[in-house]
Structure 1
Amino acid sequence: MKHRLSAIALLLVATLPSLAQSPAQTPAATPPPAVLSQPVPPQPVGSIAGHPGWPQPKPADVSSPDAILAAVYDVISGPAGQPRDWDRMRSLFLPDARLIPATILPGSPDAASPNTDAIILTIDGYIARSRARTATVGFFEHSIHNEVEQYGNIVQIWSTYESRHTLADPMPFARGINSFQFLKDGNRYWVVNIFWGAETPTTPIPTKYLPSAASPSTSINSNFNGDWVGQLEYRDFQSNQQVFLPTWLTLNPDPDGNSVKIAYTYDDGPTKTVRESSTLTFQPGTQKATLTSDTDHTSEAFEVQGLAEFTKLNRGTLVLTGKGKENDHPVDVRLTLTLRRNLYTLRKETRPAGEEFKFRDGYTFTRAEAPRT
């Protein structure tokens, strides 16, 4: 028994060094928590780049701030029931542009400082609203005074407007201010937003945003002057397609104060340059005018609408209506002439008796030189 205990003791003594040399067992390290990757936001896409199929504009419509402003007023205007060219309107605006009328909320406790809101419309939202209204009511709007600011590629125009149901209305049914924002993109401009408010009895338009009456003109024709550049657009009778030709214009007012010489030069294809000239004469003391060709000396007589305001401001819009011929058939003729400081447009429409007016041809020009007045 004693020998057995001794053997066990010796065995324990022999194994102690090996136990001492074995490393202590440590628990496995806890791995760090996994880091969840954050999604990378997509690269922003611009409004223009994001809509590659957007309607293309007429180059003359978007060539300058004055031109695109006039195009907006023109495309939204027309008699009751006349379809507007909504694709032309879309071509003027960024696809994500907004049209924003300010509204006065009914029941405001303080009429002098009423509660207001703003209606945010997309282009298609504005079109839907306008289409419903113009189906039965005529609407013509134009600017009477503009304040223009530009820095780099951003432009703002504070445009005082008047609205009428027909061009013959002596007084507008509404006035107000349109705040236009434009983007310059290379050689063209885009409408970014229009934010507008109508004049009210408690918020009359300040004098500084109205045409100056400090020095009224005594002649009708003094602003018809200088050299202009733009394009002729016409409807080809055979193909019924719209044709665009680069065009140059020279206007020379006659010393009599009532007439203006109009000379067009346009490129009608390789090695074919066409020159045409005519004289527009306003008959003093009447609402009448004649347009005489300087080539064959034929004359057309017109009744003129808007002459009094045009004479006072020396710019604005005139509507001339008369009789003419188209393919040897009698037609009614309507000419809409708009003259601004840096913009001149002339639109011709015709109709056989009992039909609607249809576009025949049109000119759009901006000045090729600084205005003389």
Structure 2
Amino acid sequence: MKLLFPAIGIVLFTACNNNDTKTTPVVNTVHATEEAAIKKAVADAYTCISFKQGEQPKFDAVKNYFVPQAQFFNFRNDTLEYFTIDQFAAAYKEFITSNKIGSFYEEEISGTTEQFGRIAQRISTYKTYVNTMDSVAERGVNSFQLVKTAQGWKVTSIIWDVESAKLPIPAYYLKPDSAK
């Protein structure tokens, strides 16, 4: 009996202190095919609002890359603004027209994707050019939420904020692409 208790103690101790690396949880990774499709959906969203000098903006094309119930949230003026997809298209048209913008180009400069099943998010650092490609007019961070539909990945919402002197983009949002 004197040996039984120490033996049980040793078994319990080793069972509770198993440092076997095989049991370490693995971080969910995005499959390369899904990563490419998600990045393409985000790139398409940027492309649909971009246009070159002499071209007409495709205001209604925005709807092709988003679910019909898509939502847009931003802090452009330090106050939360919310738009449905139709309101966003109308506000974008008004912005382009009232500011006499002849060209507009927005692109991702860095991004990170997280995906589980048919849902994903992409944190996308962007830069914007307005009327010239010689200087960046704006930078910021977009948070895209996406779902996988029968037609592929579609954006369900975008939340974004714009870089300013008081709100510089952190270095970790400027790293090369990474998938989690």
Query: In the alignment, what sits opposite 1:155?
Result: 120
1:94 aligns with one of 67, 70, 88:
67
Q: What's the RMSD between the two structures over aligned residues?
A: 2.2
SS of structure 2 residue aligned to 1:201: coil
Shift of 1:81: 6.6
8 Å CA contact retained: 1:144, 1:210: yes
CA contact (8 A) 1:98 1:122 kept: yes
Residues 111, 122 of structure 2: 8 Å contact kept: yes
Secondary structure of residue in 2 paired with 1:128? helix
SS in structure 2 at match of 1:121 = strand
> Which of 106, 109, 122 is the equivalent residue of 2:84?
122
Deviation at 1:198, TM superposition (A): 0.2
CA distance in 1, matches of 2:95, 2:155: 23
Q: CA deviation at 1:122?
A: 1.1
The residue that corresponds to 1:184 in the other structure is 148
Kindly state the Cα deviation for residue 154 of structure 1 after the two structures are TM-superposed. 0.7
The residue type paired with residue 107 of structure 2 is H
Query: How far did residue 187 of structure 1 move?
Result: 5.4
Richer in helix (by share): 2
For the residues of structure 2 that align with 1:67 and 1:199, how far apart are their CA atoms?
24
Structure 2 residue aligned with 1:78: 51
Distance 1:187 1:93, change over 3 A: closer
Report deviation, 1:175: 0.4
Structure 1: 5+ residue runs without aligned partners? 1-62, 106-116, 213-339, 342-373
Give a deviation string over 1:219-252, Cα, whole Å, max 9, x none: xxxxxxxxxxxxxxxxxxxxxxxxxxxxxxxxxx
Residue matched to 2:173: 209
Deviations along 1:238-271, one digit per CA (max 9) or x if unpaired, are xxxxxxxxxxxxxxxxxxxxxxxxxxxxxxxxxx
Question: Per-residue deviation at 1:211?
Answer: 3.8
Q: CA deviation at 1:86?
A: 3.3
SS in 1 for 2:90: helix
C-alpha deviation, 1:91, in angstroms: 1.5
CA distance in 2, matches of 1:103, 1:89: 20
Between the aligned partners of 2:81 and 2:53, the Cα distance in structure 1 is: 24
The answer to whether the Cα contact below 8 Å between 1:79 and 1:165 also exists between their aligned partners in 2 is no
Structure 2 distance, partners of 1:81, 1:121, is 28
Bigger relative contact order, structure 1 or 2, given CA contacts below 8 A and separation 6+? 2
Larger radius of gyration: 1
Q: Matched residue of 2:133: which SS? A: coil
Match for residue 20 of structure 1?
A: none
TM-score (norm 2): 0.70
Deviation digits for residues 312-354 of structure 1 (CA, Å, limit 9, x no counterpart): xxxxxxxxxxxxxxxxxxxxxxxxxxxx99xxxxxxxxxxxxx
Task: State, as a whole percentage, how many aligned pairs show the same letter.
Answer: 29
Cα separation, 2, equivalents of 1:198 and 1:182: 21
Distance 1:87 1:78 in 2: 13
Separation in 2 of the partners of 1:184 and 1:200?
A: 34
Q: Which amino acid is the alignment partner of residue 71 of structure 2?
A: R
Amino acid at match of 2:108: S
Tell me how far 1:82 sits from its aligned partner: 3.4
Partner of 1:144: 109
Deviations 1:186-240 (A, max 9, x none): 451111000000001111111111145xxxxxxxxxxxxxxxxxxxxxxxxxxxx
Number of positions where the alignment pairs a residue of Structure 1 with one of Structure 2:
140
Q: Return the alpha-carbon distance in structure 2 between the equivalents of residues 173 and 132 of structure 1.
A: 18
**Residue 68 of structure 1: which of 41, 49, 64 is its match?**
41
The letter of the residue matching 1:128 is: A
For residues 100 and 190 of structure 1, what CA distance do their matches in structure 2 show?
A: 17
Runs of 5+ in structure 2 lacking a partner? 1-35
Quick one: structure 1 residues 103 and 183, their matched pair in 2 at CA, closer, same or farther if it must change by over 3 Å? Answer: same
Q: Amino acid of the residue matched to residue 118 of structure 2?
A: N
8 Å CA contact retained: 2:127, 2:139: yes
Q: Deviations over 1:283-320 (max 9, x none)?
A: xxxxxxxxxxxxxxxxxxxxxxxxxxxxxxxxxxxxxx
Partner of 2:13: none
Which of 115, 129, 138 is residue 164 of structure 1 equivalent to?
A: 129
**Residues 33-64 of structure 1: per-residue CA shift (max 9 Å, x gap):** xxxxxxxxxxxxxxxxxxxxxxxxxxxxxx81
